[in-house]
Amino acid sequence: MAETLTKNHEILEGPQAPRQSRFVQQFRLFKENRLAVVGLVIFLAFFITAVAGVVLTSGQDPVFNPSLVRLQEKLQPPLSLPNLETLKAHEVPTLGIYLLGTDDLGRDVFARMLQGAWVSLTVGFVAVGIAVIVGIFLGGLAGYYGQEGICYDQILDFLLLLSGIIFFILKWHKLGFGLFTAGIFMMILSFRARRVKQNRFMPGWLHKSAFSFDTLIMRMVDIMLCFPSFFLILTVVALLPASIYNIMIVIGLTSWMGTTRFVRAEFLSLREQDFVSAAKALGLGNFRIIFRHMMPNAVAPVLVSATIGIATAILTEAGLSFLGFGVPPPYATWGNILSDGKRFIFDAPWLTFVPGIAILIVVLCFNLFGEGLKDALNPKLRQE
Amino acid sequence: MALTDNHKNAVTLQVAGLKKYFPVHRGFFQRVAARVKAVDGVDFEIGPGKSLGLVGESGCGKSTVGRLILKLLEPDGGKIFYKGRDISHLSPREMRPLRQEIQIVFQDPYGSLNPRMTIGQSIDEGLRCVGLSKEGRKSRREELLEMVGIWPGAADRYPHEFSGGQRQRVGVARSLSVNPSLIICDEPISALDVSIQAQIINLLNDLQSRLDLSYLFISHDLNVVSYISDRVAVMYLGHIMEYADTESLFEKPLHPYTLALLSSVPKIDDTGTRGAHTPLKGDVPSPLDPPPGCKFQGRCPRVEERCRKEEIQFSRFDGDHWVRCWKASP
């Protein structure tokens, strides 16, 4: 593609190599990692199974009925045939065989696993989605605006407003209302004082910066990391009504710290890069600089940690369900199939092994996929 | 350097007593323990269509000067006048329209382009600021690329596909995209091969005469600066040591530091012998704890008692030749 256009006696230059997009290069690198490709394939299979599962097991008359009780057929081993004489027509499993056996109530474990796959998938993705959004937001703030100081008067405002709201919720209406009004009044006052250079409204030390914004967010991260997160989740879930959405939100809100640290670190190093300085010098707004110039360069490690985070979220949900704090029955999840099965571990080991191995495979494939992604997105490995 | 208002309006950029002290935080409460005097009272001016070379060792504060003028850093003292207007304390919002007047070309051609954007998109970011339509952007982008010697069809390529010199050309095109009248060249050729260096210097010279640009050309190489600058300022540890027309500086260097820099440039003369080379001894002192008196005293071959005690003033030697050394005074 050598160009010999000339103008002003000058030869115009351009790259000689054939065009190869970043994505193609990354995919080629990814393909070289066998285990990662296996991870990706299993992940896709899991995804299709989960989506098919939710379609096939829900509705009034599902194809696979996960909650149909057949007491006469309980604890059948995998691949056993149903006894057609004792079963009514609609009770016969759709495949004509108990592919993964039946549990202590005679429910088809295959149908229950299908239903549970959707729970695992959604819990994984939604929880990690929440964690990533919170993490990117807080990490971006800490990394980009981190050096901005927080002043004593702002802390005071915040405490007044917060205590006002708390007292109000505790039904101490008068005190709460008073504190809230004082907070708003103070906010207006400090806003005025900030506009006027020579202020006589407030003492000067109130405008000194107490600590930086970065310190605030990163100490919040440290505090969150101090709690053993599984027990924090257990506590919160015990207080909240049991539902799958609460579990997603709680897992999400207790796992954003890693992403925050990643994004902050990326932003701190990107902020000093010349192309960001150039964007500032061109007069672009902060919003455009953050989302158009910095974020695309910061998402690679976030993507990797998110993939591994999905695996952790699936494990956490399974753990919660196993302990009985998870998704309420009769809805099946891999965790509560496992939990129900443990009482029959010697009589019907498939009740423990089937969901256990499924969790193992899915978590492992997410981890392998994440590792492969990390290598593929690493710019140092791209050129050869 | 007392100047009338009339003169102020005639120069593109005037910098007076510019200071930047970086705080060093220490301890649990992040108290300011010390200040690095990166730029400590710098004065110079650049006329329209002229270029000033700013020369000094690494760490002397020359890049900081560039970033202060661009308002990527807030100055701690002194004034920056752009076309007679004081821009030293403008808020980011007030600075926005002026951003397009002053642009920068960076040293590192690898870090100065966004790796996730095609070079066309990078240039478009500037054109968007000017407010061009989609078609207008496309034709202007092609024009700019051609102007800096890049084949316009390469606009949809990513920076990693280009060589260092080509990227530097793209960087120049991006800074030209907003039609600036002053470009700060922050060591634009230091990271390039010698053959490519000459190409970029020629490109910059060519663009200057075509577009009537002013340059602040930051470099550590006096030799390179002589090809592009009308005037030269020699910087050492946050101070300007000597400030003169390029010819005058090369013919009659006054400050011992300038002499040392000039003698470090390898020469080939008719006799085949090497020119007298007196290498500087020692290192640049830490800007955290600069010596009292003349900043150069620790390494100066002509040092005397007075240099260690007195703050040396920046004084006019003759004509427009300024120097910060009392021994050079007429």
Residues B39 and B237: their CA atoms lie apart, in Å, by 7
Residues A295 and A334: their CA atoms lie apart, in Å, by 36
Q: C-alpha distances in angstroms, A98 versus A213, A334, A384, B240, B256?
A: 59, 18, 52, 87, 94
pLDDT in tens, B173-205: 999 999 999 999 999 888 888 888 888 999 999
* Cβ separation B106–A7 shorter than 8 A: no
> Residue A373: is its pLDDT beyond 50?
yes
Domains of chain A, earliest start first? 33-67+107-381 (1.10.3720.10)
B 223-252 residues with CB < 8 A to A:
none
Grade residue B6 by pLDDT with cuts at 50, 70 and 90.
low
Full-model pTM: 0.81
CB pairs below 8 Å between A and B: how many? Answer: 97
pLDDT in tens, A53-101: 888 888 777 888 888 888 888 888 888 888 888 888 778 887 878 888 8
Residues of B in contact with A12 (CB under 8 A): 146, 149-152
Neighbours of B317 (CB within 10 A): 19
> Residue A207: is its pLDDT beyond 80?
no
Q: Both tokens of residue A149?
A: 């100081």
Q: Both tokens of residue A318?
A: 């399974």
Smallest CA–CA separation between A32 and chain B, in Å? 22
> Residue B270: is its pLDDT beyond 80?
no
Nearest CA in chain A to B119: A14
Grade residue B272 by pLDDT with cuts at 50, 70 and 90.
low
ipTM for this prediction: 0.87
pLDDT in tens, A213-271: 888 899 999 999 998 888 888 888 888 887 888 888 988 998 899 899 989 999 999 98
Helix (H, G, I), strand (E, B) or coil at A241: coil
* Cβ separation B103–A19 shorter than 8 A: no
Q: Which of A282-296, B39-53, B154-168, B272-286 has the lowest mean pLDDT?
A: B272-286
Contact B106, B177 (CB under 8 A): no
* Cβ separation B158–A22 shorter than 8 A: yes
Residues A384 and B91: their CA atoms lie apart, in Å, by 47
Q: What is the CA radius of gyration of chain A?
A: 28
Q: Is A196 touching B (CB cutoff 8 A)?
A: no
> Residue A11: is its pLDDT beyond 70?
no
> Residue A199: is its pLDDT beyond 50?
yes
Report the DSSP beta bridge partners of residue B110.
none
- Which one of B95, B111, B114 has the shortest CB-CB distance to A293? B114
- pLDDT at residue number B267: 65
Grade residue A296 by pLDDT with cuts at 50, 70 and 90.
confident
Domains of chain B, earliest start first? 8-112+180-195+213-323 (3.40.50.300)
DSSP A91: G
Tell me which of A156 and A382 has the higher pLDDT.
Answer: A156
